[in-house]
Amino acid sequence: MNNSIKFLIDDSSSGKRVDIFLSKNLNNFTRSYIKKLIGDRHLKINGISITSPSTRLKKLDKVVFELIQKSDDRIKPKKIKLDIVYEDKDILLIDKPKGMVVHPGAGNYENTLVNGLMYKYKNNLSNISGDLRPGIVHRIDKDTSGLLIIAKNNFSHSHLGRQFSEHTIKRKYQCLIWGIIRPLNGKIETLISRNKKNRKLMTASEISGKKAITNYTTIKVFNIKHIPKISLLECELETGRTHQIRVHLKYKGTSILGDKQYGKKNQKYKKVCEDFIKKLNSINGQALHAQTLEFEHPINNKILSFKTNLPDDFKKMLDFLNNQSG
């Protein structure tokens, strides 16, 4: 599939290399892939074909970039219930449940959010991210619930992608963690990269990786007899790295309730309330919810803000802790 996207360069982008500019505005494509397409004559600036990725942009340059994507017939539309929080002709917001994968990949080509979107919207979705990810501007983990923005056209997708790249979209999560994080309120700033021992996991360090920033606030600490100490946090992302909140909490010496990948293995409980254990075992995935999204509408430029309710398993655990703490 061929897809052309257009940009008009403003003051903030003037002087930048064109490959760096495109990689920042096309979140789902690597810089090496973009460089290859430039070399294959899929870039025009002011109507002139450009083959050098290092070309510097100037204010008011008209950039047209053609993405070449292979069709993938493994992705089948499927009728899946979608919890639509907001919708207009350009965008929609989905409250994704736990257990749902956002887009197909690694042998999983059914029952994803994308399968459901293709059934309901057919070709009325952006295709900047390719055939595997129509409409997908950003992602959240399979076992994390919460809000996702979907783009119905390429202009909206590019506009939203730019907001994510410039970190102007406000994303707030709530989570339940083991123990008490110190300080109670703060900022976690590290680099995040693939774990060398397990490529499915990420790791935080101060040496290598991509910059990652998470701001957090402790909403409440639960110090209840016969129950391990637990804290309710609100985390706001400045960046959006894979598994960012979960990795940052592990870096701080804690983890989210129900997180089997970054939490403690084979954790044993002594003299712990049985009702608490039951509630803990009923949590599906991690107790992490993408609760709030605030962004600029790509067409009318109005600021939109949305907030969703916690999923049932999260809410039941929180209600239980509040009741036990009096």
Both tokens of residue 55? 């070309």
202-257 tens-digit pLDDT: 999 999 999 999 999 999 999 999 999 999 999 999 999 999 999 999 999 999 99
In terms of residues, how long is the chain? 326
Candidate list 141, 143, 259, 313, residue with the active-site label: 141
Enumerate domains of the chain plus CATH numbers: 2-68 (3.10.290.10), 72-166 (3.30.2350.10), 171-290+313-324 (3.30.2350.10)
Both tokens of residue 270? 């002594």
153-209 tens-digit pLDDT: 999 999 999 999 899 999 999 999 999 999 999 999 999 999 988 988 999 999 999
pTM higher than 0.85: no
Dihedrals phi, psi of 66, to nearest 5 degrees? -100, 120
141 as an active site residue: the answer is yes
Both tokens of residue 275? 């009702």
